[in-house]
Amino acid sequence: MSSSKNTSLILVVSMAACIVALEEEEKRQRPKYWVSPYLQERALKGRYASDTPSMFFENFHMPQKSFNTLFGMVEQYLIPKRNTRPDAIPIKAKLAIVLEFLASGDLQRHIGSTYRISKQHFGVILLQVSFAIWTALRDEFPKWTTGNMLMWVKGFEDEWNFPNCIGAVDGKHVAIKGPPNSGSLFYNYKGFHSIVLMAICNAHYRFTYIDVGAFGSEGDMNAFSHSDLGKQLLLDQLPFPEDNVINGHRTPYYIVGDDA
């Protein structure tokens, strides 16, 4: 009987020790706070709260007036359905974060730290704001009509003394993390993985056409040739104006680009 009592006592003590050990382990693993104090101070010490107006253009590549205009266009797409967090990131700050990331090409973790935003939240914000910008601006690109082309030509002729020029085209490699099992498809000649942004702008620096998504390995020439605009141009399906006479010579209208 004594042996049975001793066994029971040992079991009780062992179970108690296990419970105490589990509680101690839970205490060690449980975070002391839901949000890091460093991140909680974003409203007072983050970049958006402390930036000076003189640095605004340098950081965002646009004046405050343009920023506010853009914010007015995207705000409706960024308003959360519900917001119960007192430390929620302001919508304007979200737009500023993404614009600075796009303008500078800096690392997400570096820009996130200056705004006191976690790297996980930064990725979510980047997707939200990028989609909002695309939604708000998708109808802003003018149609490729003969009338529009003549208007763009006049801008180049008046401001740059460059007659018959409809626009300037170039490509930009946007760095990405190489997708799984993609091989060298996205690996470009500069030595990193990318997709190609192909764009045309007029004399007033307004984009008149963009194409995004060509593989980095394609380069500017192939990216342009495979785009919808490139295909139409090569098949002579764009509504180009009739050739103009310059200094007594019949001269076609054209898009200017580099040797790529």
User: Strands 254-256 and 165-175: what pairing?
Assistant: parallel
**183 with 163: CB under 8 angstroms?**
no
For the chain, what are the domain ranges? 37-137, 146-256
Question: Kindly report the CA angle at 176 between 171 and 179, in degrees rounded to 5?
Answer: 120
In this prediction the pTM is 0.64
Residues 79, 77: Cα–Cα separation, whole Å: 6
Contact (Cβ atoms closer than 8 angstroms) between residue 176 and residue 193: yes
CA dist 157 → 27, 141, 254 (Å): 72, 21, 13
The SS3 call for residue 250 is strand
- What 204-210 contacts at long range (C-beta under 8 Å, 24+ apart), as own/partner pairs, is 204/155, 204/159, 207/141, 208/141, 208/142, 208/144, 208/148, 208/152, 208/167, 209/141, 209/144, 209/167, 210/141
pLDDT in tens for each of the 260 residues of the chain?
A: 555 655 666 665 666 666 766 666 665 655 554 455 545 555 555 565 555 556 777 777 788 888 899 999 999 998 887 765 656 778 888 898 888 888 777 778 888 777 777 777 888 888 999 999 989 988 888 888 999 999 999 999 988 888 999 999 998 888 888 888 888 899 988 899 888 989 999 998 888 998 888 898 987 888 888 888 889 988 988 898 999 888 889 999 999 988 76
Length of the chain: 260
